[in-house]
């Protein structure tokens, strides 16, 4: 998403971007809820299998209203059968249960509160397409 804006239109564009970002958060929430339907216990590290894709759910903090966790692929080692490894991304997922939103931040965005909204949209839009592809490849998403 590459948008060039004149300086006089910047304020109007920020309002539109914030609304768009909230819609992405909401869509990510519902997609993620469909992905983790097979998750039995969200308070401990779990492995979820979709076709041949193995996903790792790693909770960091679980409270009444929010869950903070990592979610990533777990790969099978081609050199050592039976072993697996993970490349942990620098992404933190925050699931707001009461607001029904899923926010994803990089570690850099998590440290800086005043982050550029375009970067937030970029990261969360990528997660949206990733979750959608997981469900599409699993033949459960319509």
Q: Which residue has the tokens 């939103």?
A: 101
Total structural domains within the chain: 1
Q: What are the pLDDT tens digits along the chain (142 aa)?
A: 444 545 445 555 455 578 899 999 999 999 999 888 766 667 788 887 766 678 888 999 999 999 999 998 887 777 777 777 777 778 999 999 999 999 999 877 767 766 678 888 889 999 999 888 888 866 443 3
pLDDT at 35: 83
In a domain, 1, yes or no: no
pLDDT at 16: 57
DSSP state of 87: -
pLDDT at 2: 42
pLDDT at 27: 95
The CA distance from 2 to 136, in Å, is 27
In a domain, 3, yes or no: no
Question: The domain containing residue 95 runs over which residues?
Answer: 8-137
């Amino acid at each position: 998403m590459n948008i060039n804006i004149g300086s006089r239109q910047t304020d109007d564009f920020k309002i539109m971007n914030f609304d768009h970002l909230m819609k992405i958060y909401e869509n990510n929430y519902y997609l993620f809820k469909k992905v983790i339907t097979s998750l039995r216990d969200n308070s401990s590290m779990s492995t979820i299998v979709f076709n041949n894709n193995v996903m790792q759910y790693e909770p960091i903090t679980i409270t009444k209203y929010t869950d903070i966790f990592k979610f990533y692929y777990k790969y099978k080692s081609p050199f050592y059968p039976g072993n697996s490894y993970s490349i942990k991304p620098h992404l933190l997922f925050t699931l707001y249960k009461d607001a029904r939103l899923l926010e994803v931040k990089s570690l850099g965005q998590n440290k800086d509160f005043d982050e550029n909204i375009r970067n937030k949209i970029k990261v969360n839009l990528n997660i949206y397409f990733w979750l959608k592809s997981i469900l599409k490849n699993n033949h459960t998403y319509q």
